[in-house]
Structure 1
Amino acid sequence: MERLAYYIDAATRINTKRSYQSAIRHYEVEWGGFLPATAEDVAKYLADHAAILTGNTLKSRLAALGQWHQSQGFPDPTKAPLVRKIMKGIRMIHTHVERQAKPLQLDVLTQTVSWLDEQIMRSDAQQPCLQHVRNKALLLLGFWRGFRSDELVRLRIEHIQIQTGRGMVCFLPTSKADRDNRGRRYQVPALKTLCPVDACEAWLALAGLKAGPLFRGVDRWGRIKPDGLHVNSIVPLLRRVLAESGNALPESYTSHSLRRGFANWAIANGWDIKTLMQYVGWRDLKSAMQYVDATDPFVAFNAKLTLMGSPEDDQS
């Protein structure tokens, strides 16, 4: 039974475990609920938080409660008609606008990388130079491959093959889109400018790394830490670099900004949605469309009118 529980536990992603544990703790400790719960208990819990939490957060809490009951062998109260009805009522009364990450546009990436290059050239100390070189590699790889934060921090050097001037292949044994944990190889392009391959080569050479996590912390004495960056450190790192490089509103960027920025760049440069989905790893159209901003059809219309000349221009 211990071995069985071991493999069942391994099947659940670490981030999902943390999310579920947090949800159960909120239900039991902060709200004072009892487990196993009844449908009435769950409905009251939802009603008490309807005006506070977003619809997506409530759905996540329900998923955690449902998973707990199923794993413990109890009937799942979250599937009861009462719970479904109250969720429908909450959606009708409490309309929450789900916030999306601001896409990191190519011009912002270019400005930020240029600033990093300047800092690297000026730096005469090991610690800041290492950090700048690492941050440059992380930003460029995250953008051009559309990686999530958890994918960036799980990249390992022994799973990376670099062909100088030709490209790079990154292998991830698991990812959010890889439900069966079969692993996937990601081809990284070698570019004439803003090249993620050159940036990663420079980071590995300067850091002297041969194995282990690709992206790691650097202490104040300029020593590379053995462990990889924590997934929760990516957003503060991104915002700090954007702020220091002079970009406005760095707090509006999140870990999805790199992914959204690349998706919008790809569509603007003629990629069809199927190619984009295959490249990034989205399995369904709904997931992909959440990252792509709709183009304004009136922009092209106004541009055409400008070229033709406005009707007023024809009047004598």
Structure 2
Amino acid sequence: MKSMATRRQHLKVLRSASLAEASQRAYASDIRHYRMHQGRLPATPTQVALYIAQWSPVHAFATLTRRMAALDRWHRSQGIASPVKSIIVQEAIRGVRRIYGGPQRQVRAITAKDLSQLVKAAKRPSTFRKNDNQASSSTRILRDSALLLLGFSAALRRSELVALQISDLKVDKRGMTVHIRRSKTDPYGRGQSIQIPWGTRVALCPIRSVQAWIEHADLSSGLIFRSVDRYGNVGTAGLSPQSVALIVKRLAALAWGEKAAAEFSGHSLRAGFCTDAVQRGMSIFAISQMTRHRSVESLGRYVRAEP
């Protein structure tokens, strides 16, 4: 029989696992923000409502909604009645929706044509950081090219892309099978697999690009996409989802300028696949098999109009 202390510790692990890691990080950040700007926890309904009034002109409605969810969860996890459910807070939220709750910002999609320009940008000497040597630059070129091409061709979310391991990829004459261990639509880790065909253009083939990166980095197991230091050494730690966004923005700035780069994010690769697929006449069923969207409505949010 396990001791009470052991059972309590295991219960803590189970409760923590009930939320995806990304959600845990977001909620923790939201609670920190509330504490910095409003103060005490537990909070009263009036304190929460005043917090909403303070930040509603600054933050997107989606951000405030998530912060309310974080506060609600914090109080309920402590066995305390949630102030978020109070009338004053609910009325404040509805007021924010009516006054500020416009359409959610959509990042620009990276289509196949855009992807070609980004890969070219990755290979320019101007992409090298000031203190990098040639080895670091060459290594980063291979990593960033593979990340862009695989992220686009497999319509991967940022978190899925950086979580991929060597053992998740299987290559044969038909192409590459990518096994996604866990995702937003598969929170319990049952696993999903998708098939990527060989590219018709060698320079833009995701399979050849990933193979070149893995061979150059001398990877035999573990995470595929990793940090690269100024001397060209490949680290053991994987990239973060935010790293994907930073890579995309950096290359977009080189390809189209700083102003245009602000329109892109890590989501641009997945949106680009969806947009490109629709423009090529690919069926919604075939697209959703790749993207693993649960509904046509959610898939539609990733399809952009012609730029």
Same fold by TM-score greater than 0.5: yes
Corresponding residue for residue 297 of structure 2: 286
For 2:199, give the aligned amino acid. Answer: L
Q: 1:68 Cα deviation (Å)?
A: 0.7
- Alignment equivalent of 2:280, drawn from 239, 248, 269: 269
Separation in structure 2 between the aligned mates of residue 280 and residue 31 of structure 1, nearest angstrom = 40
Which amino acid is 1:57 matched to?
T
Gaps of 5+ in 2: 1-7, 126-132
Aligned match for 1:154, one of 163, 177, 189? 163
Match of 1:190 in 2: 198
2:181 is aligned, of 166, 173, 181, to 173
Contact 1:108-1:247 at 8 Å conserved across structures: no
| Counterpart position of 1:107 | 113
Other-structure match for 1:27: 34
CA distance in 2, matches of 1:246, 1:81: 48
Residue 131, structure 1, aligned to residue 140, structure 2? yes
| Cα distance between partner residues in 1 of 2:247 and 2:76 | 38
SS at match of 1:225: strand
Query: Which amino acid letter does the alignment assign opposite residue 131 of structure 1?
Result: R
Alpha-carbon separation, structure 2, partners of 1:62 and 1:144: 36
- C-alpha change, 1:83 and 1:286, in structure 2 (3 Å) is farther
| Cα separation, 2, equivalents of 1:93 and 1:41 | 21
CA contact (8 A) 2:227 2:239 kept: yes
Deviates more, 1:91-100 or 1:188-197: 91-100
Could you tell me which residue of structure 2 aligns to residue 220 of structure 1? 230
SS of residue in 1 equivalent to 2:297: helix
1:221-240 map, 5 Å: 221-240=231-250
- Provide the C-alpha distance between the structure 2 equivalents of 1:50 and 1:294, rounded to a whole number of angstroms: 29
Q: What does the per-residue CA deviation read over 1:23-63, in whole Å, with 9 as the maximum and x for residues that have no partner?
A: 1111122222x222233332222122221221111100111
Return the alpha-carbon distance in structure 1 between the equivalents of residues 247 and 141 of structure 2: 11
Q: Partner of 1:57: helix, strand, or coil?
A: helix
CA distance in 2, matches of 1:207, 1:179: 30
Taking structure 2 as the reference length, what is the TM-score of the superposition? 0.87
**Could you tell me which residue of structure 2 aligns to residue 303 of structure 1?**
none
Whole-Å separation in 2 of the counterparts to 1:181 and 1:81: 38
Contact 1:112-1:241 at 8 Å conserved across structures: yes
- Larger Rg belongs to: 1
Residue 307 of structure 1 aligns with which residue?
Answer: none
One of 97, 100, 104 as aligned partner of 1:94: 100
CA distance in structure 1 between the aligned counterparts of 2:99 and 2:231, rounded to whole angstroms: 55
How many Å apart are 1:233 and its aligned residue? Answer: 1.6
What is residue 259 of structure 1 aligned with on the other side?
Answer: 270
Segment of structure 1 superposing worse, 53-62 or 282-291: 282-291
- Gaps spanning 5+ residues in structure 1: where? 297-316
Identity over the aligned pairs, expressed in percent? 34
Cα distance change, pair 227–274 in 1 and its aligned pair in 2 (3 A): same
Equivalent position SS for 2:176? strand
Displacement of 1:118: 7.1
User: How far apart, in 2, do the equivalents of 1:198 and 1:19 lie?
Assistant: 35
Residue deviations 1:81-114, cap 9 Å, x none?
Answer: 3322221112222244532111112211112224
CA change 1:241–1:295 in 2 (3 A) is closer
CA root-mean-square deviation: 2.2
Question: Does the 8 A contact of 1:217 with 1:227 survive in 2?
Answer: yes
Deviation at 1:14, TM superposition (A): 1.6
**Is the Cα–Cα contact under 8 Å of residues 38 and 47 in structure 2 kept in the other structure?**
no
Amino acid at match of 1:104: I
Please say which of residues 269-278 and 3-12 is displaced more in the overlay.
Answer: 269-278
* Residue 81 of structure 1: aligned partner: 87
1:56 matched to 2:66? The reply is no
Q: Tell me the equivalent position of 1:304.
A: none
2:126 equivalent to 1:144: no
Structure 2: how far apart are the matches of 1:30 and 1:219?
A: 37
CA distance in 1, matches of 2:294, 2:82: 28
